[in-house]
């Protein structure tokens, strides 16, 4: 797999990373530990060098999996993790106080079985802690050698500018896909201006763009998509138009819809590195194949025109999860 530079930070990653969240958190019961480790290792053996985790993905459980799977190749991979939720639970509110950031860093280093974190993201901007203070704390961790690069997730343009002035932001991780194109308005131009890399999360639209789910799909009772307005049965029925479009494009390119969703992101900018997640070996291989599909400017123009004509229905997050909305 080819590599990409995340902006001007000097951070080089495989063009497709691997999002480890779903192995422990978010989409139903955790994957059995041996299977999860085998999957992470398979991603590495297939050329993936960029792995994404967070404290909040099972209160350290996901970081421990990543540590177990990759500690023997530590110097060959880039590991990104995140701080910012109280008690490491996204239902408990935000907490980016400096002492908490330091506590998370120490836990992450232990769980990941390493003495440095390549990329340490603030998971969400905390309205109670100025971003300058957060950036300053990460700057200190960088000076101490415990962290290599600073990242933000779902941060708005003002927060990014303010933080970047204290400690350069290497990468922004926010939702971006054919299913959620809002970053094209203000975020992507700002990242280009400041030389910040972009790591789109949920690049497969949380699975929706793959064509493997429809209005009849039943989610496990612990699956977050049960409470996400975009994923109500009614909205899935309406939003099926985008799946039909991606499926049609996939047919034209001899690819699968998941591969087209990833190729579309890779074609946007050379400093974008998406992090699809899966719990299944065959899908991992399929997704990695997305890096081999190249969409040219003509393809993009046709696809984007068609996307512009689709009106999607449903908010990303319910009011009860307002903390997850970016600032
Ligand atoms: N910063 C943040 O706030 C934030 C938020 C969300 C996610 N993330 C990160 O981004 C990563 C990816 O995002 P995500 O997991 O939300 O969404 P995603 O990668 O867009 O989609 C994952 C979903 O798609 C399914 N899937 C994956 N490949 C497939 C394929 N080829 N065919 C059919 N279904 C497929 C998976 O199910 P199976 O497991 O059954 O394959 C899973 O339900 C996460 O792992 C996490 O590291 C960050």
What digits encode the pLDDT tens for the residues 31-69? 999 999 999 999 999 999 999 999 999 999 999 999 999
Q: Is 204 in the pocket of ligand 1 (CB under 6 A)?
A: yes
pLDDT of residue 122: 98
In a domain, 62, yes or no: yes
The pLDDT score that the predictor gives to residue 27 is 96
Mean pLDDT value across the chain: 97
CA 285 to ligand 1 center in whole angstroms: 14
Other Cβ atoms within 10 Å of 186 Cβ, number: 12
For ligand 1, say whether the CB of 278 is within 6 Å of any of its atoms.
Answer: yes
pLDDT at 319 over 90: no
Residue 31 belongs to a domain? yes
Kindly give the number of the ligand 1 atom that is closest to the alpha carbon of 279: 39
Ligand 1 pocket, mutate which of 17, 20, 22 (most atoms under 8 A from CB): 22
Q: 57 catalytic, yes or no? A: yes
Distance 139 CA to ligand 1 centre (A): 30
**Is residue 26 domain-resident?**
yes
Domain count, the chain: 1
In ligand 1, the atom with minimum distance to the C-alpha of 277 is: 19
Residue 22 CA to ligand 1 center (angstroms) comes to: 6
Which of 43, 84, 212, 278, when mutated, tests ligand 1's pocket best, judged by the most ligand atoms within 8 Å of its CB? Answer: 278
Give residue 196's pLDDT.
Answer: 98
Residue 64 covered by a domain: yes
Find the 161 Cα to ligand 1 centroid distance in Å.
28
Query: Is 310 domain-assigned?
Result: no
Question: Is 314 a residue whose pLDDT tops 90?
Answer: yes
Token pair in block for residue 212? 């493997």
Protein residue with least CA distance to atom 16, ligand 1? 202
**Ligand 1 proximity of 288 Cβ (cutoff 6 Å):** no
Name the residue at shortest CA distance from atom 44 of ligand 1: 19
Which structural domain range is residue 114 located in? Answer: 3-205+268-292
Pocket lining: 20 vs ligand 1, CB cutoff 6 Å: yes
228 within a domain of the structure (yes/no): no
- Short-list 90, 83, 91, 16, CA closest to 53: 83
316 in a structural domain: no
Distance of CA 18 from the midpoint of ligand 1 (Å): 9
User: Does position 323 have pLDDT exceeding 80, yes or no?
Assistant: no
Dihedral sign of CA atoms 276, 280, 283, 284 in order: positive
Q: What is the pLDDT of residue 320?
A: 82
Q: Report CA(268)–ligand 1 centroid distance (Å).
A: 20
Q: Which atom of ligand 1 lies closest to the CA of 287?
A: 31
pLDDT, mean of residues 90-100: 95
Q: From atom 19 of ligand 1, which residue's Cα is the shortest distance away? A: 276
Given the residues 27, 44, 57, 111, the one annotated as active site: 57
Task: Supply the CATH number for residue 138's domain.
Answer: 3.20.20.100
Note whether residue 229 is domain-resident: no
Q: Is the pLDDT of residue 197 over 90?
A: yes
Verify whether ligand 1 is closer than 6 Å to residue 21 (CB atom).
yes
Work out the percent of the chain whose per-residue pLDDT is above 70.
Answer: 100
Q: How confident is the model at residue 322 (pLDDT cuts 50, 70, 90)?
A: confident
Statement: residue 325 has pLDDT above 90: no
Percent of the chain residues past pLDDT 90, beyond the cut: 97
Closest ligand 1 atom number to CA of residue 153: 1
Q: Half-sphere exposure of residue 315, counting CA atoms within 13 Å on the CB side?
A: 9
Residue 267's pLDDT band, with cuts at 50, 70 and 90, is very high
């Amino acid at each position: 797999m080819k590599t990409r530079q995340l902006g001007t930070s000097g951070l080089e990653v495989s063009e497709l990373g691997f999002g480890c969240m779903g192995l422990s958190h978010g989409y139903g019961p955790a994957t059995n530990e041996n299977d999860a480790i085998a999957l992470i290792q398979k991603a590495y053996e297939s050329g993936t060098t960029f792995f994404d985790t967070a404290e909040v993905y099972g209160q350290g459980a996901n970081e421990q999996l990543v540590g177990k799977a990759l500690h023997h190749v530590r110097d060959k991979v880039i590991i990104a993790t995140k701080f910012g939720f109280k008690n490491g639970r996204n239902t408990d509110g935000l907490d980016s106080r400096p002492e908490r950031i330091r506590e998370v860093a120490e836990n992450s280093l232990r769980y990941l079985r390493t003495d440095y974190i390549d990329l340490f993201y603030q998971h969400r901007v905390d309205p109670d802690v100025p971003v300058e203070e957060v950036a300053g704390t990460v700057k200190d961790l960088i000076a101490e050698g415990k962290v290599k690069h600073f990242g933000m997730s779902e941060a708005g343009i003002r927060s990014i500018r303010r933080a970047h002035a204290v400690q350069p932001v290497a990468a922004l991780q926010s939702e971006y896909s054919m299913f959620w194109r809002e970053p094209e308005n203000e975020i992507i131009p700002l990242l280009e201006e400041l030389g910040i890399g972009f790591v789109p999360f949920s690049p497969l639209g949380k699975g929706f763009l793959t064509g493997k789910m429809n209005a009849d799909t039943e989610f496990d009772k612990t699956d977050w998509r049960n409470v996400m307005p975009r994923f109500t049965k009614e909205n899935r029925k309406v939003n099926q138009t985008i799946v039909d479009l991606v499926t049609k494009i996939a047919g034209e390119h001899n690819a699968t819809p998941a591969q087209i969703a990833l190729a579309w992101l890779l074609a946007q900018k050379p400093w974008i590195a998406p992090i699809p997640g899966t719990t299944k070996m065959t899908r991992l291989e399929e997704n990695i194949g997305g890096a081999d599909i190249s969409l040219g400017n003509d393809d993009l123009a046709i696809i984007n025109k068609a996307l512009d004509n689709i009106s999607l229905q449903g908010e990303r997050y319910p009011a009860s999860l307002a903390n997850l909305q970016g600032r």
